[in-house]
Amino acid sequence: MLSGSRVVTVLPAYNAERTLEATVRELDRSVVDHVILVDDCSRDGTVALARSLGLQTIVHERNRGYGANQKTCYAAALRAGADVVVMLHPDYQYSPRLVPALAWMVASGEYDVALGSRILGGRGRSRGRMPLYKYAGNRFLTFLQNLLGGTKLSEFHTGFRAWSRKVLETLPLGENSDGFVFDNEMLAQALVFGFRVGEMSCPARYFPEASSIGFARSVGYGLGVLGVSCLQALARARLWRARIFRPDGKRLASGSP
């Protein structure tokens, strides 16, 4: 617990058996009060391993997509009484040791949203060994997103994020995609709704077991991101609000743990 805040880490998992134990082993349980893994119908032993590690484990009976996985993660975290929710991929790409630092940015009250950036601190292509096409795409899309959104973030595409309970209860996450563009929709929503977003530097590992999408799917993701940013720009200019930016949009179900 940090500053009286209950910290819950959520792990959106798909075929994470090879890296899950290493990820969980490095979580500081003196800070992380609860861990929830949501399995998106993995084909390996992720579920059995998660249960053997004592994690609260929720299983999708069919593969519903990365965004749908996160929706289940956040709804479960709210039910578990979370004040701060840290989303960490269980593929060991991002450092679990930095969960307390990322959570503190929100628990301190300084930020509503905290992002672990692979770009800050020189941890981009040269030190993090991000594949060249991913690095180039990341920088290009981030430039356009900052331009359209009036922001100065170093990266919009990190999978290491922390959210306050208020953010998760306010954003109409039920309107978002069930696919990979969910991450960008959620961050765009937080910005349009006026939440405070901060960043910290984090290292990233790239190896065969780390989850990733190929070139063709990356192109589709990039086009989806640009679409979200254009909608964000319209909402920012008060010209038109898409459903994902409307206060009356569908929210996640919350409640008592």
pLDDT at 122: 63
13 beta partners: 39
pLDDT at 130: 74
Tell me what the mean pLDDT of segment 3-20 comes to: 96
User: Structure pTM?
Assistant: 0.93
Q: When comparing pLDDT for 121 and 101, which is higher?
A: 101
4: left (phi over 0), alpha (psi -120 to 50) or beta: left
Q: Which of 22, 56, 51, 64 is nearest to 209 (CA)?
A: 22
Q: Which amino acid is at 251?
A: R
Question: How many percent of the chain have pLDDT more than 90?
Answer: 81
pLDDT at 126: 42
Q: Are strands 7-13 and 56-59 parallel, antiparallel or unpaired?
A: unpaired
Domain boundaries, the chain: 7-241
**How many Cα atoms occupy the beta-carbon half-sphere of 154 within 13 Å?**
17
pLDDT at 18: 96
pLDDT digits (tens, 9 = 90+) for 186-244: 999 999 999 999 999 998 887 665 555 666 778 889 999 999 999 999 999 999 999 99
Tell me what the mean pLDDT of segment 111-128 comes to: 76
pLDDT at 64: 97
Q: Which of 139, 138, 159, 228 is nearest to 191 (CA)?
A: 228
Which band of pLDDT confidence, cut at 50, 70 and 90, is reported for residue 256?
very low
User: Is the CATH number 3.90.550.10 carried by domain 7-241?
Assistant: yes
Secondary structure tally for the chain: helices H, strands E: 9, 7
pLDDT at 204: 86
Question: How many percent of the chain have pLDDT more than 70?
Answer: 92
